[in-house]
Structure 1
Amino acid sequence: MTRYAIDESRSELVAIWETGYGAVAIRVAPLAVSIEPRRRLALAAELSGLSRALWRCYTHPASAAGSLALNTEGWRREQTRNEFASVTAHIRKPNLPEGNSLMVSYDPVEECAHRVGRCLHAAGDTDLTAAVVADVEAERAAVEGAELGDLSGRSAQAVQLTRQAASPVQVAAADRILMGDPLGGGELFLELDPTSACVAAAHWLQAAADVAADAANSAAPDVLAEADDIEALPLATPTVVLELMEIGLSPTDVVTRMICDAMAVAEGEAPDIDDLREKIEEAGEEAEQVAASGAEAVGEITAIRLTTLDPLRPARDMLEDLLSGIRGCWLLYRENAMFSTDLEGTVSDDELDGEINEAFRNEVRARAAADRHRLDLEDRK
């Protein structure tokens, strides 16, 4: 989202947003001396609130809610998204107090727009109003562009956000990056929606796990535990992803399910009561087994984690772990190749490493290409 602030040294309203490369700041409008400091700050705060409400429509699309039936969460999200067309009208003509009463909207986008409008009404500066309206229109266009998978310009701030749904355009772009180098992927953090990048990375993790499993004569969901014996890895998330894909879920279903659950946890909800109950029972059983070790040991076991992801940044956290998982597959593949190769002793260590690394990349590319149907992109070219 865009944050608005007051540059006191220049007496200006500025807008700031994050990208994959760093933050961008622009001047929105100069502020007249007659506008009191508290009113300036109030305007910046309300504009930040409006941006947050607009971008929530991107991160929480109606399509991800499951149902659009009357009075459901999906229906409410759809109503909020429909308010985009009226935002600037509410800013230009906000609800104002009448006596001791004020009409307040239940819709967050509409009400945030009215609040911005009331701040501008109090400022009484037509030039400032025109500049703010223009900037809000640019912010709204940025959200709409991100919804379509275009993260250029101001829409680039979506790179830092977690969305409950994936964009086929962005998934395809992430897939091309990993095809270029299955052991790379740093570019995914800079220019792509992280949820969509996770979908592609999950597909490539499965391909890498299949290749490593063949090399180690193991099962794909178990390869990361074996790789962890070689080098410490973040196991939990990529292992869950592999286990869910093993039972037939698509990369999109796995990623969006896990991310939606983590976003629910961030909002104070336990997304799966049955899963929570099972975790509580398991923790209770383990606590009984270590009770003799003391209260401190019991306390560590009974601390239940509701999600393997960081609830504050679930998509980017998942992407980091999935790419680490691909590297873990390479570690296991490399170790087995080093022991089985006939070239050892006839070429230098660097040459041997290079040949093994290239062989891994090529095998993973071939497996990912053969199973690309998992991404469901063929009819979206």
Structure 2
Amino acid sequence: MTWYAIDESRSELMASWETGYGAVATRVATLPAGATSRQRMALAAELSRLSEALWRCYTHPASAADSLELNSEGWRRERTRNQFASVTGHISKPNLPDGDGMLVVSYDPVEEYAHRVGRCLHAAADTDLTAAVITDVQAEIAAVEGAELGDLSGRSIQAVQLTRQDASPVQVAAANQILTDNPLGAGELFLHLDPTSACVAAAHWLQAAAEVTSELSGTAVTEIVMEADDIEALPHATPTAVLELMEIGLSPTHVVTSMIRDAMAVAEGTAPDIDDLRDKIEEADENVERYAADDPEAHAEFTTIRLTTLDPRRPARDMLEDLLDGIRGCWLVYHEYAEQPADPQDDVTDDERDDEIDTAFNNEVRARAFADRHRLNLEGRDR
């Protein structure tokens, strides 16, 4: 989202947003001399809240809800998204208190925050400021709409720092191409792409890498990353969970979006799967009774229950980091089992042999990922 702030030294309203690497800022407008400090801060605060509400339509699309029926969560999301066309109108002509001091307040966040921004501008009574703010809000709406279409150029780049409940086919295809060029991943996945979509592609490539490594090592696909953890410390919980779910036939998109939505629910203070929570509590009770009845430290460890393997504050980027570490784990195990020549040549260095193994790993993983590309539903884009 875009944060709005006041540069008191220059009496200017500023807007700033995160990119994949650092933040950028721009001047929105010069503030009228007659505006009080409280009025200025109120305008910045309401603009920030409006931006947050707009971007929530991107991170929580109606398409990711379970239902679009009347009064359902999906229905509310769709109604909020439909308010985009009315935002500037509400800013220009906001609801104001009537003669009795009564004020109409909307339940819809986008509509209500647009009215609040409009009331701040009405109090400032400066036509130039109003015009500049409307222009900036239009740019913010266009940024959200661009991100929805998978275009993360310009101001839409802030989407790389957000977690979306759904994946963009355009962004999945772009991430898939980056991994085709380098199966171990590259910085572009974090700098230019929606992380949820990048996770879908990374999950597909993790499965390909795990299958190739499993065939070489004899280790089960779902145990590859845990074995790699014995070679080099790796965050194995998320990659292993992803592999286990894909092993039973779930698609990368289903696995990634389900896990991310659960983590987002945890961040909002809800337990997404009550049955899973009951199972974890029962397992914790059994472990305490069996191993930690008289050991306070072990008791505390067993009764600490994680509701998600992801960081709820940044689930998509956290998952992407873990999935790429999982691919690296496959690479580590592949190196452990790759055959070394029985009679090594004196003129071939260890580094050159490692390069040969790297090349073999990359080529085999590329071939497997290409052969199973139907898992990404990108066939139409391959033509």
Q: Same fold (TM over 0.5)?
A: yes
Give 2:361's aligned residue: 360
Spell out, residue by residue over 1:195-254, the C-alpha distance to the aligned partner (whole angstroms, 9 max, x if none): 000000000000000111011012111111111111111000000000000000000000
Aligned match of 2:80: 80
Q: Residue in 2 aligned with 1:4?
A: 4
Partner of 1:97: 97
Deviations 1:309-357 (A, max 9, x none): 00000000000000000000000000111x5444645421111111001
TM-fit CA distance, 1:101: 1.4
1:350 and 1:358 mapped to 2: Cα distance? 12
Q: Which residue of 1 aligns with 2:22?
A: 22
Q: Find the residue that maps to 2:292 and give its secondary structure.
A: helix
Q: CA separation in 2, counterparts of 1:206 and 1:362? A: 15
Query: 1:292: how far off?
Result: 3.8
Percent identity reads: 74
TM-score w.r.t. structure 1 length?
0.98
State how 1:37-76 maps to structure 2 within 5 Å. Answer: 37-76=37-76
Supply the AA of the counterpart residue of 1:325.
G
How many Å separate the matches in 1 of 2:342 and 2:181?
A: 28
Q: Provide the residue aligned with 1:297 in structure 2.
A: 298
How far does the alpha carbon of each residue in 1:6-64 deviate from its partner, in whole angstroms, 9 at most, with x for none? Answer: 01111000000011122110000001110000100000000000000000000000000
Report the Cα distance in structure 2 between the residues aligned to 1:35 and 1:160, rounded to whole angstroms. Answer: 34
Shift of 1:184: 2.8
CA distance in 2 between counterparts of 1:380 and 1:134 reads 36
Decide which moves more: 88-97 or 178-187.
178-187
Contact 1:168/1:380, CA 8 A, preserved across alignment: no
| Matched-pair contact (CA < 8 Å) for 1:28–1:135 | yes
- The Cα of 1:295 is off from its aligned counterpart by 1.8
Give the ranges of 4+ consecutive aligned residues of structure 1 lying more than 3 Å apart after TM superposition: 339-346
Letter in structure 2 aligned against 1:259: I
- 1:235-285 deviation per Cα after TM superposition (whole angstroms, max 9, x unaligned): 000000000000000000000000000000000000001100100100110
- Decide whether aligned partners of structure 1 residues 380 and 76 sit closer, same or farther in structure 2, where only a CA change above 3 A counts: farther
State the match for 1:254 in structure 2: 255
Count the aligned residue pairs: 380
Q: 1:344–1:327: structure 2 CA closer, same or farther, 3 Å change rule?
A: farther
- Report the residue type matching 1:55 in the other structure: W
In structure 2, do the counterparts of structure 1 residues 380 and 78 end up closer, same or farther at CA, with 3 Å as the change threshold? farther
> How many angstroms does 1:150 deviate by?
0.2
Q: Using the alignment, how far apart are the partners of 1:293 and 1:189 within structure 2?
A: 46
RMSD of aligned alpha carbons: 1.0
- Farther-moved stretch of structure 1 (172-181 vs 217-226): 217-226
1:254-333 correspondence runs (5 A):
254-333=255-334
Distance 2:342 2:176 in 1: 33
Report if aligned partners of 1:185, 1:323 keep a CA contact under 8 Å in 2. no
Gaps of at least 5 residues in structure 2 are none
- Which blocks of at least 5 consecutive residues in structure 1 are unaligned? none
Inter-partner Cα distance in structure 2 for 1:113 and 1:244: 42
